[in-house]
Homo-oligomer: A and B are copies of this chain.
Amino acid sequence: MKIVVQPLTAPAFAPFGDVIDAIGAYDKLINQGLCERHHDLAKLDFGVESGGRAGVSVFKAQALSLPYELELMERHPDGTQCFMPMTEHPFLVVVAPDIGATPGQPIAFLTAPGQGINFHCGTWHGVLTPLHAPGLFAVIDRIGPTANLEEHWFETPYTIIPD
């Protein structure tokens, strides 16, 4: 089955997580008036009650191109996972609703340059899929003692195609 990529918007993404960008109005002007602060844009949860804490990591992923065969989705039940691109390139964000503990039909979003995202706890998502090298991301997620990972392999992969 084919899935057409759609532009990432906060309302469309709301069931899955947060869109994080400096595109709208800023909250505060700081640093002698030279810097916009777009403040506290993600609902973070690091599962402190199960021994988790926040960590900052860097992911370096191989770039891929469309069409893309979506074979695998995963989710992290014990913590949110935030991806902030360290380049100005858009990237692909694939999510799916949870249907009885497996992913339902996936939805594929393309970010605008300068947009990051935060997956809420338990959101089914595809692996990190940059479309341009270097696929470099700052990742703010849970560091903790639980596995915090469920995977689902599709019997028949989906094909994600450009708009």
Contacts from A to B (Cβ < 8 Å): 20-22, 26, 30-32, 34-42, 44, 46, 53-62, 64, 72, 82, 84-88, 114, 116, 118, 127-128, 134-136, 138-140, 143
Identity of the chain B residue whose Cβ is nearest the Cβ of A149 in the assembled complex:
B30
Number of copies: 2
Main secondary structure on A side of the interface with B: strand
| Contact across chains for B138 and A84 when beta carbons are under 8 A apart | yes
| Chain B residues whose C-beta falls within 8 Å of the C-beta of A54 in the assembled complex | 44, 46, 54, 140
Q: Is B84 in contact with A21, judged by CB distance below 8 angstroms?
A: no
A57 contacts B38, CB within 8 Å? yes
Residues of B within 8 A of A118 (CB): 56
Chain B residues near A41 (CB-CB < 8 A): 55-58
**Cβ contacts under 8 Å, A86 to chain B:** 84-88, 114, 116
Residue of A21, A30, A140 most packed against chain B (CB within 10 A) = A140
Q: Across chains A and B, which 8 residue pairs bring their CB atoms closest together, nearest first?
A: A31-B127, A84-B138, A35-B61, A40-B55, A22-B58, A38-B58, A36-B60, A22-B60
Separation of A85 and B61 alpha carbons in the complex (Å): 17
Cβ-defined contact, B136 with A114, below 8 A: yes
User: For residue A56, which residues in chain B have a CB less than 8 angstroms away from its CB?
Assistant: 20, 40-42, 44, 82, 84, 116, 118, 140
A32 and B82 contact, CB distance less than 8 A: no
A36 to B128, alpha carbons, bound, how many Å? 11
For residue A140, which residues in chain B have a CB less than 8 angstroms away from its CB?
54, 56, 140
Residues of chain B contacted by A26 (CB below 8 angstroms): 60
Closest residue on chain B to residue A34 by CB atoms: B62
